Every structure is written in structure tokens, then in C-alpha cells.
Chain A
């Protein structure tokens, strides 16, 4: 053994990106499965928004088809913020986040596991809430319905990837619950425009949502890259 190696001590092998990602994701999903904190609060919140919207707008009128895209996504966005706020709060107890910071595990895997966990939570929410919307607002899609799924998946990832990143920022601030929507909503406006307009086009069958799907794909690629690139900096911000 060389002299320098003896001084440096035993080197800790950095665990693989995918192994850490999988373990962290499984841990988050198991925690959620046992507590059901995020899912229950999101579902109840989204349900409340649907009911309140139905008082604000005439739900069975013909024009409800035109505003339904906006209503659906606004309610999902608000509900997602409820879950996103809890993303990192769980890691603050017992200094888990600090432990992660000093561990040799790649930060990207922590970020991606959190984002994927949130993505799964919000997708479950959407799967439960969409039939309710269909029933309450008497919706029928005139355009191609499979494209709704594409918009749903791309749009949800857009919200969740930025939301997870900004939750890591807002967790360090005073009044962190209000901080997250304040910084998340302005940056998410392009994704929301694409989701709302794309959904409306499919529901009304007026035009092809092709452009909006492409825009969401571009948005997803750009912001996932920026998040991965900057997450380590934000995690280690002191």
C-alpha cells in the first residue's frame, strides 16, 4: 500500500446511481404506503377544488367542455403542491438530509427518486380524480383520447420535476409552505398553457394538440436537464 493511500484512509466506493435511486424510491413509496399522508391530503384537496369549482361554474353547460381543461389542471396543480411541500420535510427529521449530503451517494439519484415518487403520487391522484371530473362535468372527448394520456404524463412530469427541485429550495426558507407556489407557478406557466390548451383541444376536437405535446416534451427535456445540473448545488447550499 502506498503512503498516500494510508494517509487518506480506506476509500469509500461511491454506490451506483441506479442502486441508490431504486433504494431511495422504494423507501419513499413504502413510507407513503404505510402513512398515506400525501395521497390522502392530495385527494381530499383536489376533491374540494372540484366541488368549489362546480359552484363557481355551471358544470353541465356546453361551454364547460371549454373550461374543463383549465379546471382539471388547476386542481391537479394545487393538489400536487400539497404533496411537493412534504417531499423534503420528511428528510429534515433526524438530519437525514445532512446525512445524505455527507454520504458519497450521487445527489442526482436522490433528486430523481424524489421526482419519480412524486410523479407516481400525482399520477395516482389523476387516475382517481379524472373519472370524478368526467362524471361531475359530463365530459366526452371529441378528439383522440389517447393523446390525453400523453399530455397527462408529460405535463405531470413537467410539474413534478420543477416542483421537486423548488421544494428543495423552499424548504430552506421562512414560511416554506407559501414559498413553493410563489416560485413554482411562474416558471410552470408554459407547461400549464400547453396542458390546458392541449386538453381543451382534445375535449372540443377543434384542433390538433400536436404543437402542445411537442412543447411539453421540449419543456420536460430542458427542465429535467437544468434540475439535474443544478440539484447538487442546491442540496449543498450553505
Chain B
């Protein structure tokens, strides 16, 4: 374990702890929704992190197709996996909040549907990576990742005809938007904490993937040099 990583992990832990405190205790209770509104401090940062991960996956996939760099592929895989995890958190915390507030778990609203489709696309990406064999996996996965990323704006466009029930953005929204300063500060702390957590997870996953690549290479080399040893 590198010291840089250790320091980063400690910072992340501190941010997460403070974010938890700010969201659960520091921020005032919302007038109409009550305590259930506090899900907001986890739901919104998770969504933000998931979208960032998928965007990074898209860039890494293009990078891989251009340079065939093993590092790019490791970045693509780790960002996709972490992105799917955070997207899952979004899809779980959303209905938990919606049931008491809207009275229903799920509605086929533009924001919800496009997030679900985003999740489906990247799960199919991970499934492809598991089922395709050998080195061509990386090329095929990179091609699918580009398709997936191009698809999402079209999904969003195609369902904007649906009635929207998802709350409008509260930050940088239109006139009359905006939230209590303590709420905003809790949200921003959690943004920082979740971003740091995502970077930490991607970092670990990336290192693991690089090691796996090295092990695979070593196996292949050994099989080439001494075919007998490999079968024993």
C-alpha cells in the first residue's frame, strides 16, 4: 500500500464522516418532507459520481481504441464498475424517498427512465466483459461503451415527452430555486466525500486490474517458454 493512497483514504474517511454528520445532524429538517429528505444528501452526490464515472469510461474507451493502452482499458473497466455501483445506489435511494413523498416507488419519468437505461447499458457492458474471451474483449467492450454513451442523450430526448415528476434542480435551477445554506453545505460536503470515495474505489480497482493483466501476461509468457510447465 502506497503512503499516498493511505493519506487519501484517511481524507476520504474524514470527508465521509463529516458528510454523514452534516447530512444527519447539521442540516435542518425539511418542512414538508421531514427527515426522509435527508436521503437527498446521498442520492444527488451518488448520481453525480455515477455520471462522472460513465463519462470517464467513455473517454477511456476512446483512448483505448486510439492507443490500445492497457492502462486505458483498466481505467474503462474500473470506472464502469464503480459507476454501476453508484448508479445502483441512486436507483435504490430514489424509490426509498419517492414512496413516502410521492406515494409510489417508481414512475416512468424522463429522469428516472434515463437513469435506469444508463444502468442497463453499463450492466450489459460488464456482462460483455465477462462473457467475451481473451484480448478482443477490450476492443469489443470499448466499442459498446461508445454506443452506450451516445445512446443516453437520445434516451433522454425520447422520453422528455413523458410527464416529469422528478424534482427540478435546486442548485443553479431557475428563479425561486435554491436551498437553505446549511442544506447546501451538507450537500457540498457529501459531493466532496462521494467524489473522493469514487476516486479511491477506482484507484484500488485500477491497481487490481493492472496486476491481473500482469499475472495474465506472466502466465502467457510462461506457457510460451515452457508449454509443459503450464499443463502440470
Q: Once the chains bind, are B150 and A218 in contact (CB under 8 Å)? A: no
B interface with A by C-beta (< 8 Å): 65, 117, 120-121, 123-125, 127-128, 131-133, 135-136, 139-140, 143-144, 146-148, 150-151, 154-155, 157-159, 161
Q: Which listed residue, A162, A175, A189, touches B131 by the CB 8 Å rule?
A: A175
Instruction: Provide the residues of chain B in CB contact with A215, threshold 8 Å.
Output: 154, 157-158
Q: Tell whether, in the assembled complex, residue B128 and residue A211 are in contact, meaning their CB atoms are under 8 Å apart.
A: no
Complex CA–CA separation, A162 to B148 (angstroms): 12
Task: Find B127's partner among A182, A219, A222, A226 (CB 8 Å cutoff).
Answer: A182
Q: Are B151 and A183 in contact (CB under 8 A)?
A: no
Known: A172-B136, A183-B128, A226-B146. 20 other contacts (CB 8 A): A162-B147, A172-B133, A172-B140, A173-B128, A173-B131, A183-B124, A186-B120, A186-B151, A189-B117, A189-B120, A190-B157, A218-B157, A219-B154, A222-B150, A222-B154, A226-B150, A230-B147, A234-B143, A237-B140, A238-B135
Residues of A within 8 A of B150 (CB): 222-223, 226
Contact A190 B140 (CB under 8 A): no
**B154 and A169 within 8 A (CB):** no
A176-206 toward B: CB 8 Å interface, digit per residue (1/0)?
0001001101110110011001000000000
Expressed in whole angstroms, the minimum distance between the Cβ of B74 and any Cβ of chain A is 18
Instruction: With CB as the reference atom, state the residue of chain B lying closest to A229.
Output: B146
| A residues less than 8 Å from B125 (CB atoms) | 183
- Given A183-B127, A186-B117, A187-B147, A238 and B158 contact (CB-CB distance below 8 Å): no
Q: Decide if B140 touches A234 in the complex (CB within 8 Å).
A: yes
Q: Any chain B CB within 8 A of the CB of A174?
A: yes
B132's closest neighbor in chain A, by CB? A173
Query: Complex formed: what's the CA distance from A186 to B147 in Å?
Result: 10
A190 touching B158 by the CB < 8 A rule? yes
Q: Which 3 A-B pairs have the closest CB atoms?
A: A237-B139, A237-B136, A186-B120
Contacts of A186 in B (CB 8 A): 117, 120-121, 123-124, 148, 151
Select A169's contact among B117, B120, B143, beta carbons within 8 Å.
Answer: B143
Of the candidates B133, B143, B154, B161, the one whose C-beta lies within 8 Å of that of A174 is B133
In Å, the complex CA distance between A197 and B160 comes to 13
Q: Which residue on A lies nearest to B123, using beta carbons?
A: A186
Place the interface of chain A in its size category. 20 to 34
Q: Which of A220-235 contact B (CB under 8 A)?
A: 222-223, 226, 230, 233-234
Give every chain A residue within 8 A of B139 (Cβ-Cβ).
Answer: 233-234, 237-238
Residue of A nearest to B140 (CB): A169
The complex places the Cα of A56 from the Cα of B231 at a distance, in Å, of 54
Docked pose: A54 CA to B102 CA in angstroms:
35
Expressed in whole angstroms, the Cα–Cα distance for A237 and B133 within the complex equals 12
Chain B residues with CB below 8 A from A165, complex form: 147
Given the known inter-chain contacts A189-B117, A226-B150, A237-B136, please indicate yes or no for A169 contacting B158, CB distance below 8 A: no
Q: List 26 A-B contacts (CB under 8 A).
A: A162-B147, A166-B144, A172-B132, A172-B133, A173-B131, A173-B132, A179-B128, A182-B127, A183-B128, A187-B121, A187-B147, A189-B151, A189-B158, A190-B151, A190-B155, A194-B158, A197-B161, A215-B158, A222-B150, A223-B147, A230-B146, A233-B139, A233-B143, A234-B143, A237-B136, A238-B135
Check A183–B144 contact: CB distance below 8 A: yes
